[in-house]
Amino acid sequence: MSYQTYPYQQQPSAGGGGGYYVQPPHDPFRAYYADRLRQLTFNSRPIIQDLSMMAGAQRDQNNWDGMNAIVQEIEEATLRALPTQKLPLLYLIDSISKNIGAPYTTHLLPPIIPRLYLRTYREVDGVTKAKMEEMINLWRTGGPNRTELYGSGVREQIERDIFGTSYNHTNGMNMNGLPNLPSLPTVQQVKNAVQGALDKKQREAASKAWDMATGQQVNALTGILNLLNSTNVPPQELAQIMDQVKSMNGQPQSQPPQPQPQPQQVFTPMNQPVTPNWGVPPPQQAIPPFPPHSSRIPPPPAAGRPPFVPRPTPTPPQASLNTPLHMAGLTTPIPISNPVVPLPVQLPTMANLPIDVSKILNSLNQSGVVGQSKTPEPQAQPSTPTLSQGVQQKQQQQQKQQKSSLEEYEDMIIGLGVSLRSIDLNAPHILSLEHLPQRCKQCGMRFASDDNAKFQSHMDWHFRRNRKERESAGRGSHRRWLPRAEEWINDTYSSSSAEAGPSTNPMLNSPGKSASTTMTISAERLQQLREKWIKVPSSNAKANSVCPVCKESFVKEWSQDEEEWIWKNALNINGTIYHATCRAEQLSAMRRLKGSDPNKRSTSGSPRLTPQPSEQVKAETTNTTTSSPQMNVKRKAEEEGEAGGQKGDDEKMNDAVGSENKRIKVEQEQEQTTGSVAQSQPNRLGDNVTPVTVLSDIPKVQVKEVEVGVKVEQEEEKEKMDDQLASNLENSGIV
Amino acid sequence: MSEEPSAPREQIIVDLEPGSEWRFELEADENIALRVLSPDPVFVNSEELPPATWYPIHRYTKGALYAPTQARVEVTSLPASQYTSTSTIHPQLLNVHLALERDRILAKRHLFGSGPSNGVERVERGPRVMIMGPPSSGKTTVVKNLVNLALSSGMGWTVGVGGLDPSSPSNLIPGTISLSTPSHPLPTHHLAHPFGSSPTSTPSNTLSADTPTVGWWLGGLEPTNRNAEVWKVLIERMGEDWKKRCVRDKMALASGLIVDTSSAFTNALLGTKKGDPKARYTLVAQAVEAFEIDTILVIGHEKLHIDLSRLPILQQRGINVIRIPKSGGVVDIDDTQRELIHSFQIRNYFYGEPPLPKELTGLLGKMVSVDGNLNPYSFQIGWETLVVLRVGEENSAPSSALPLGSSRILSPTRLTRVDPSGPAHVVRLLNTVLAIEQQEEEEDMEEVPFKEEIGTREVLGFIVITAIDTLKKKYTVLSPSPGKLPSTVAIAGSIEWVDSA
């Protein structure tokens, strides 16, 4: 084929799936075509033929990009051509339309032809004008089966503009003889309107495949269209249909010719991977909403080759009904917004209508096409934030549904009736996860859709873990001692918040509960904290402030009791406003940092502790475990030698890690004041325990060592801060 | 690999037919990561793999991916031993799960009073299942599958896992039996801790870790006739604790219990005493009683199935014995393998998750979160301080050595303090794993050896004697946590471990 010889032609990727789209400005084919167009400065049959063939080739490949590009280039070329050189380009359009036909004649050209023709017509000289008039006259029967070349309306629109309203160039067969009667629409107008509505409904149906109502409407409209095409409908009934369809579209009664043609409204690629399938009517529900902004937008990448959709073309007897007056035009704009225009005309009494039409109207009514304007669709609601009550109700409804989704699962399992007593191991069951569509992005765990409480607590759990991990990074972690049986038995976290997981409440993980009670915030405490509130600050700057911990803004609420706007879960600490819960978590995190490791158990005062190595020895242990690797190595060596020099060694080490040591002493003092049982025991065994080394890898310890100095400082600072904040908290009445 | 590190890796794709398994057996030098590229779920031991996320699997692991529907999985490298099979027992396990799930739901509705289920029988508590089978029949895998199926149903179950197989400990180290309550599906990354590991000081990122666990120390790899009495006491205590937990925690009661057992349970004469020579499956019956088991799943073993079905004690209790097929993918593990696994599990207890292998660190794309290493601590402790005990008659003179006519009057659970001063003991104690047992406040160290009950208390953790200094009379021990030991009563067993990387 000839198009294969085009050197620059990029094989379009519409069907390829994995390919990419060449953007229009860089489209080599487009550039090539534009080049060839520039050569069309005189009436050259070969060039016109060639360009037409290329247009045909694009159609054969079902390449909408290419076809769009061709039409745009032709239009641009025509507009910028010298007046004397415009005619060949119009002839090219004529040639493409007549030789290639659809989709150029149905989708691509009709939107641009009127303005293009009219603009050109005004610029060219008389001879050319005459030739253009000649051309447009031939369009009347230029289509297949001697139909209108560009469907309907296009030629009329042009003629109306060129020849004025009084000009009736047709065979003078105005059936009404009342050309100025606007109230009785023509078959054509009605068809256009119906077609427009149909297009819109089809798009709607495609975007909401589940919506049965829209599907019914599509069917009803298709029925009307078929009826209009096949029979003669009296003008009055036409008017009624027209009114209803208009009311459904929210379309003004008389539509001026569209000055800005919108090709995308007519151009409806199908969202189905169908092989090129010319002339076969497509399944109507499959039309996707077309991208509304740019006519250059290629068909959606996911779509296969969009098959071309032929419009029903008017049959000659109907064409005779045409009135060239007040045409709605082919380019009926299709309002995208929800139709809220009330019915302008009362519904006609069904009995008066011929049976077919009344049937249609009935079906229109039943399918909700007509009634729609009165009862706005429910799915319009969620997008309006003002309807908070409605939203709430909806959420509640969803929650109810959600609850029932897990319940449904329960019922389903019970309904299966698989019992251990009479089990058939080979029964063909499949594992259903359908009740758990929501997945955690971090770990892939599944949740019931909109079961937000569980999902949220799961995400919180991730968050806490990640934070804890960051906090303890570089510190080195270790396996905990196991819980005692009692602790495990009483560990009922799982019954209260099943999804929360083991780490939801770190308190439950640590063997020494008393050690960690100070570290975490209990549920009741959180609840208390959430009840804290402050007045919304009057100054604007403050009112826009965010919590310094979580960086989120505060939620304003109207307090009935206070008759004030308040922020819940908020605290004012020295002029800075925090979320009460964030603040508490931060504080507890600080305490955790401060009191982190190395020996929580000893601080717990747990009654099970028996005669233990003294605190002094414990401090030594701590020293050693956090001391430098060089020391450890040295230490090890000396141990292997003799035990004698140990004490001096210890002192040296204490010097080496002086600052660290201080901190530990502070801690020790604190511990002593807390009065652990262990300390009250006689110190019988103390000397027997001698710490040796940290068995972690040396490089790791080196990292630690670098950090130790910094950390000590940080922690001292934090302790200070912590204390200060604690007193603040006390002042503010939390603690 | 001669491949340059920067060279783009070739994609290795494994396509799974609906209902098929991809089985892999990793060798010592094989670490792989895999990720699911298809939209439908793919499971490893019934844990759904996260979508399009690398999932590392460490060396020596043997496992299988199961795809109920057509699936596509990418692997970093193909293991030498890998194949797909359509002979999977997942449909059977699913049927078992559906039956268990039904009981759980009915129990939950009963316990939480969310409306009676009309027309359905009343179930007052969750199912309690015990899995039995010969060695290398996939018991632990079946348990794991059933647990994961329950935990991923979205119902928030906290299924109890009873690990009655000391040779394949659920969460701790070999020689222990344990009870744990995982609440998230358990991943399969490596050999250790098939049911999640016990908590560490840093919260874990993998869903398996931080599994609240309570453990008991048997000190041996399986119940034998010699330690049967100790075993029974331990099981009794476990059962009591489980009951107490169920009283406190209705969700645990509704979720039920799944018990993994030692392959020694298949031995009919195990635990049979001279006084009652006709007793069969004594330990099985005892465990059934202790945990109020209502269903026994027997893997493969036809004779065991028949035996148990006919066992009077079980019949009286109305125990439901169900035989499930053995998976075709089960690999027979030899002794070397077992030792390797045991060593790995102990290592994992002290040092945490194995680090991500080098070949898996540079992978492009998301990776499931992996936990970091743990740092154990080593220190010296005096011989006098640490009271090392042994439990049971195993360590006393054989009955044949007793004077003629006299019978043993010592309790089978008596404690013997190990005196490290004897040269033989030094050898015996080196590299021994000791279980730290809880110690009550009022207990005097002098009395400890005479309080038998101590020997069967729950354990708080494990230490290893890595060196013994006879001159200074000190042990050097490896402890999981820094600081002093929570108790100085330690029970020795027959488990040894050499800390070699």
pLDDT in tens, A148-203: 777 767 778 887 777 764 444 444 344 444 344 344 556 666 677 777 777 776 66
* 8 Å CB contact of A480 and B436: no
CA–CA–CA angle B141, B145, B147 (5° rounding): 115
B244 touches chain A (CB under 8 A): yes
Residue B496 has pLDDT above 70, yes or no: yes
Q: What is the pLDDT of residue A67?
A: 85
- Between A640 and B67, residue with greater pLDDT: B67
B134 and B269 belong to one structural domain: yes
Residue B359 lies in a domain: no
Strands B432-437 and B458-469: antiparallel
Amino acid letter, residue A139: W
Indicate the burial class of B335 (C-beta count within 10 angstroms; 0-12, 13-18, 19 or more). exposed
| A426 with B252: Cβ contact below 8 A | no
Does one domain contain both B385 and B296? no
Residues B102 and B54 in one domain: no
Chain A CB contacts of B246 under 8 Å are none
Q: Above pLDDT 90, what percent of chain B?
A: 9
Please give the angle made by the CA atoms of A494, A497 and A498, to the nearest 5 degrees: 55
Asked whether the predicted pLDDT for residue A537 surpasses 60, the reply is yes
Domain CATH number, residue B449: 2.40.30.330
Looking at residue A284, its pLDDT comes to 41
Distance CA A266, CA A195 (A): 10
Average pLDDT over residues B244-269: 88
Q: Is B432 annotated as a binding residue?
A: no
Pair B84, B14: CB distance under 8 Å: yes
Average pLDDT along chain A: 58
Residue B413 has pLDDT above 60, yes or no: yes
Of A129, A56, A64, the C-alpha closest to A98 is: A56
Query: What ipTM, to 2 d.p.?
Result: 0.85
Residues across chain B: 501
CA of B275 to nearest chain A CA: how many angstroms apart? 33
Q: Is B212 on the interface with A (CB under 8 A)?
A: yes
* B134 shares contact with chain A (CB less than 8 Å): no
CA distance A43 to A60: 26
- Percent of all residues in chain B with a pLDDT value above 70, rounded to a whole number: 86
Question: Positive or negative CA dihedral for A650, A653, A655, A659?
Answer: negative
Distance from CA of B329 to the nearest CA of A (A): 18
Residue A335 has pLDDT above 50, yes or no: no
Choose between A688 and A540: higher pLDDT.
Answer: A540
Confidence of residue B129 (pLDDT cuts 50, 70, 90): very high
Write down the pLDDT at residue A277.
41
* Of A129-133, A269-273, A434-438, B30-34, minimum mean pLDDT range: A269-273
User: In B, residues 139-168, which contact A (CB 8 Å cutoff)?
Assistant: 149, 152-158
Q: Are residues B101 and B79 in the same domain?
A: no
Q: How far apart are CA B282 and CA A341, in angstroms?
A: 84
- State the nearest Cα–Cα gap between A289 and chain B, in angstroms: 26
* Torsion, Cα of B487, A588, A581, A500 (10° steps): -30
**Which has more pLDDT, A192 or B139?**
B139
Closest chain B residue by Cα to residue A428: B91
Contacts of B354 in chain A (CB under 8 A): none
Same domain for B178 and B68: no
State mean pLDDT over A597-622.
37
Residues 306-365 of B with CB under 8 A from A: 320, 322, 324-325, 349-350, 352
Same domain, B99 and B63: no
In the predicted model, what is the mean pLDDT of residues B202-225? 75
Q: How far apart are CA B27 and CA A206, in angstroms?
A: 53
Domain count, chain B: 3
Q: Is B21 annotated as a binding residue?
A: yes
The reply to whether B200 falls in a domain is yes
Considering CB atoms only, which of A498, A509, A602 is closest to B210?
A: A509
> What residue ranges of chain A are covered by domains with CATH 1.25.40.90?
28-163
What are A681-707's pLDDT values in tens digits? 333 333 344 444 444 343 433 334 434
> Residues of A with CB below 8 A from B103's CB?
420
Q: Does A602 sit within 8 Å of B156, measured CB to CB? A: no
pLDDT value at residue B297: 92
Fold that domain A28-163 belongs to in CATH: 1.25.40
Nearest residue on chain A to B459, alpha-carbon basis: A482
On whether both B435 and B463 belong to a single domain, the answer is: yes
Please check whether residues B103 and B240 belong to one and the same domain.
yes
Q: What pLDDT does A374 receive?
A: 35
Cα angle A78, A80, A85; round to 5: 60
B176 and B224 co-located in one domain: yes
pLDDT in tens, A630-676: 444 444 434 443 333 333 344 444 444 444 444 444 344 444 443 33
Residues B208 and B236 in one domain: yes
Q: Rounded distance, CA B94 to CA A430, Å?
A: 8
Query: How much is the average pLDDT of B109-120?
Result: 69
Regarding whether B388 and B266 lie in a shared domain, the answer is no
B257 within a domain of the structure (yes/no):
yes
Q: What is the pLDDT of residue A688?
A: 42
**Predicted local confidence at residue B447, as pLDDT:** 67
Closest-CA distance, B15 to chain A, in angstroms, reads: 20
CATH classification of the domain holding B295: 3.40.50.300
The predicted structure's pLDDT at residue A347: 41
Does B91 touch chain A if contact means CB atoms closer than 8 Å? Answer: yes
What confidence category does residue B128 fall into, taking pLDDT thresholds of 50, 70 and 90? very high
Residue A712 scores a pLDDT above 70: no
Give the residue-averaged pLDDT of A508-525. Answer: 42
Q: Which residue has the higher pLDDT, A231 or A687?
A: A231
Give the per-residue pLDDT at A519: 39
Residue of A412, A434, A494 to mutate when probing chain B, most B C-beta within 10 A: A494
Is the residue at B338 inside a domain?
Answer: no
Query: By the 8 A CB rule, do B173 and B220 touch?
Result: no
Domain shared by B139 and B285, yes or no: yes
- Please indicate whether, in this complex, the C-beta atoms of B109 and A447 are within 8 angstroms of each other: no
Range of the domain at B61: 9-87
Position A622 scores a pLDDT of: 37
What are the backbone angles phi and psi of residue B376, rounded to the nearest 5°?
Answer: -80, 170
Show the tokens assigned to A109. Answer: 């050209």
pLDDT in tens, A352-393: 444 455 555 555 444 444 433 333 333 333 333 333 444 445
What pTM does this model have? Answer: 0.53
Residue B205 has pLDDT above 70, yes or no: no
At residue A719 the predicted structure's pLDDT band, cuts being 50, 70 and 90, is: very low
∠ CA A73-A75-A77 to the nearest 5 degrees? 65
Q: With an 8 Å Cβ cutoff, are A492 and B117 in contact?
A: no
For residue A485, give the chain B residue with the closest CA: B214
Mean pLDDT over B342-346 rounds to 87
| CATH number of the domain enclosing B42 | 2.60.120.1030
Could you give the C-alpha distances from A132 to A50, A91, A128, A155, A165, in angstroms and in order? 22, 9, 6, 12, 19
Q: CB distance B352–A483 less than 8 Å?
A: no
Condensed to tens digits (0 to 9), the pLDDT of residues A448-480 reads 776 677 788 788 877 877 777 777 666 677 888
User: Distances from the Cα of A734 to the Cαs of A290, A520, A573, A726, B213, in angstroms?
Assistant: 58, 15, 11, 9, 36
- pLDDT, average across residues A277-305: 39
Helix ranges restricted to H, A367-510: 388-416, 452-471, 485-489, 493-496
Q: Is B138 annotated as a binding residue?
A: yes
Any idea what DSSP says for residue A420? Answer: S
At residue A675, the pLDDT reads: 39
